[in-house]
Amino acid sequence: MTRNFVVDEKSVGKRLDMFLLDNFAEFTRSHIKNLIEKGLVLVNEKPRKAGFSLKKDMLVSIEVQEPEKVSTEAEDVDFEIIYQDKDLAVINKPQGLVVHPCSSTKSGTLVNGLLYRIKDLSGINGELRPGIVHRLDKDTSGLLLIAKNDFAHVNLAEQIKNKTCHRNYLALLEGNLKCEEGRIETYIKRDPKDRKKMSVQSDGRVAITDYKVLKRFDKTCLVEFSLQTGRTHQIRVHAKHLNHPVVGDKLYGKEVKGLVGQLLHAYKIEFTHPRTGKIMKFEAKLPDYFENYLKKQ
């Protein structure tokens, strides 16, 4: 069903997403953002970004899609809790596990498992993402910070924003990088040709990744990545930008027989404990499938 609105005097200068929030109180901001990114919102018959500034008498059309029901029930989901105290937990997410419920995965996610295994979780991100401070892609394994109260959540989120929380990844890349180490600095946004992808575009958000080659093989290289920003699919997009996609990355590279997803693992995290001020460091070894693939190189 399509609904149309004409921008009146009081809505002049308002952002498109905020205008829609005012007219659809039942929709969340993330749902509206999703509709805009899918091209289901038009202004004068043209798709516009969420931050587009409206002018008087513009016609805003939206194809209304009701949010799909997802489960926030506690479920017994398999993942490793490396550490926890009254404020936070550090977990090791296995490859293939989706972080939170969404339209394509309505249950059996990490959030469902957290609700089953951890009594208290922060509520800042709403009922669909309790405790989730940052994310990992479904087929990326490794360390994630979980906040057990809002005090810890705000503090940890600020550390990530201010780059005082350090996250390091290991990835096996196709081919061999020319340099031993370096910094990739680009701008990333949603790919206009494929909404499942992100891509390097001049009008995107700044994305910075440092890298260091740890070991070279005949047709691949093992690389350590350090995130300086946290854009969606950042390492995967930057690896493709270097013309050396992550091995097994079906979205940005090519499918590899015997692998279900990309060889990308968040192996190390360092942050300051929100309450004690103590420096916390954790590492998670490479999953067996990653180690076994390396042995064949």
How far, in Å, CA of 16 to CA of 38, rounded? 14
Q: Strand 141-147 and strand 264-272: pairing?
A: parallel
Q: Measured on CA atoms in the order 226, 230, 231, 236, is the torsion positive or negative?
A: positive
Catalytic annotation present for 137? yes
Can you tell me which residue has the tokens 């990653």?
290
Residue 151: what residue type? F
Among residues 247, 281, 249, the alpha carbon closest in space to that of 167 is found at: 281
Beta strands (DSSP E) in 193-283 are 198-200, 205-216, 220-227, 264-272, 279-283
How far, in Å, CA of 93 to CA of 71, rounded? 19
How far, in Å, CA of 10 to CA of 74, rounded? 44
How far, in Å, CA of 92 to CA of 143, rounded? 5
Length, in residues, of the chain: 297
How far, in Å, CA of 219 to CA of 297, rounded? 8
Please name the residues in contact with 52: beta carbons below 8 A apart, sequence gap of 6 or more.
15, 16, 43
Angle at 195 between CA 191 and CA 200, to 5 degrees: 15
Catalytic residue among 17, 87, 137, 249: 137
* Cβ(128)–Cβ(111) below 8 Å: yes
Tell me the catalytic residues.
Answer: 137
